[in-house]
Structures are given as structure tokens and as C-alpha cells.
Amino acid sequence: MKNREMTRFDARLTKEQKELFEYASQIGGFRTLTDFVLSTVQSKAEEIVKEHNKILASKEDQEIFFDLVFTNPKKPNKALKSALKEYNKKL
């Protein structure tokens, strides 16, 4: 097993929050409250990052997108203008 550098994270919470989290960790089958919190936060963080990265997958994609939209926008071509007209007709 690789040695990982560990760090600490402290959080203050209300008594009600702690009781809820402890109860959830027990019924969820987690060994400890720490296991529950870390697993839950890890899962949510991965979900948020995955969703964010779906939009603009890489730094290069981001640069291309922002260049085309904000820095160097192109004028709409005939096909795009035609598609807009068709769309507006259906509204």
C-alpha cells in the first residue's frame, strides 16, 4: 500500500446535525461517522467535478470555446440563419 500524505479537516456543526449524521452513518452501515462523512463528501465531490468536466472537458476545449464565443465570435452562416428561422416558426 502506498503511503499517502494525510491532512486534517475540522468542521463545526450543530448537535442536531451531528445526531443526524451519526444516525445516517449507522443505518447506512458505515463503521464510523468519519467513514460516512468522507465517503459521502468524496462521492458528491466526484459527481460535481464529473458534471463540470462534461461541459468543457479539457483546458484546450475551454480555450477554444471561450475564444469562439467571446474573443473571436464568428458571424452566423446561412445554415444557422435558416435553422433559426425554422425554430422561430415552430414557436
pLDDT tens-digit map of 51-78: 887 776 677 888 888 888 888 888 889 9
CA distance 36 to 33: 5
Q: Can you tell me the mean pLDDT for 33-43?
A: 97
pTM of the model: 0.56
CA distance 23 to 2: 32
pLDDT tens-digit map of 1-27: 578 899 999 999 999 999 999 999 999
CA distance 62 to 37: 33
Domain locations in the chain as residue ranges: 15-90
Q: Is the separation of the CB atoms in 46 and 62 below 8 Å?
A: no
**Distances in whole angstroms, Cα of residue 82 to Cα of each of 58, 68, 73, 74:** 31, 21, 19, 16
